[in-house]
Amino acid sequence: MKISLVIATYNWPEALELILLSILKQSVLPNEILIADDGSTKKTKEVIEKYTQHFHSGIKHIWQKDVGFRKTIILNKTIAQATGDYIIQIDGDIVLHKHFIKDHIQVAKAGAFIHGSRVFLNKKTTQQSILKSNSKFSIFTYGISNRFNALHSPILSELFSNQNRNLKGTRGCNFSFWREDFIRINGYNEDMIGWGKEDTELSVRLMNSGLQKHKLKCLAVCYHLHHTISSRSGLNINNTILDLAIKNKTHICTNGINKYAN
């Protein structure tokens, strides 16, 4: 199984550097790393160029012009260029536990996709971590909330992880799926422009296509860096698209990855 790690980012190079540092510390490395860049300035490119030499496969940087929040589009463009059988997707504000990639690989199975959990770092801890280039956190770290999510335990994971159709926590910050399943439902719905619900709508269509959602706890631990909240200006439209996907049991979107994928 070949693993593609996809990182969605926008104009936060300091956070991206922490992410790349945490990837270097992984017990199992991905086969390739792809940066889905929604229009960042050259500072992000400079960070990528700094670290690409540290990875055997380098880093693929897929960039598009900044004309507003277009995460669905840049993710489709990026996953179209991925060569892995299995996609692990995170956001540009997520630092990884050392077994993050290993855990996703071990839990992956045919007919399912995974949504993991995250631990929230407060503003002070985030700022200090960036200042000191510290990418190592644990359940004992000062300044974290929902501390249970920082527990890494295969035994507890068997107790608390489950398969369900609950849409709570269906976010792309800790998400993995088979690339062929993603292509089959035509990827992200590019009619969803602006922040919010694109990952939930994708999950709905994956489930409507017959896949099971695996909600993972106590494995694939990741840490969410504190930042200001993105604008919710497009949320009403995206909620409407999500509601229609649920109501109509939609599994294939019209405006998706087929424009880029072979």
pLDDT in tens, 115-130: 999 999 999 999 999 9
CA distances from 221 to 61, 145, 146, 150 (A): 25, 13, 12, 6
| pLDDT confidence bin for 262, thresholds 50/70/90 | low
Provide φ and ψ at 83, rounded to 5°. -110, 0
**What's the pLDDT tens digit per position in 89-102?**
999 999 999 999 99
CA distances from 209 to 8, 56, 184 (A): 25, 36, 9
Alpha helix positions (H), the chain: 13-24, 42-52, 71-81, 100-107, 123-132, 154-160, 179-184, 198-208, 235-247
Q: What is the pTM of this model?
A: 0.95
CA distances from 144 to 25, 129, 223, 229 (A): 21, 12, 9, 18
**Among 33-47, 159-173, 177-191, which is the least confidently predicted range?**
159-173
To which residue do tokens 């996907």 refer? 245
Residue 129 contacts residue 229 (beta carbons within 8 Å): no
Q: Which stretch of DSSP H or E encloses residue 114?
A: strand 112-115
DSSP 3-state assignment of 56? coil
The percent of residues in the chain predicted with pLDDT above 70, rounded, is 97
Q: Residue 242 and residue 161: Cα distance in Å, rounded? A: 25
Relative to beta strand 174-178, strand 112-115 is: antiparallel
Tokens of 262: 């072979």
* Residue 256, pLDDT above cutoff 80: yes
| Assigned CATH for 3-259 | 3.90.550.10
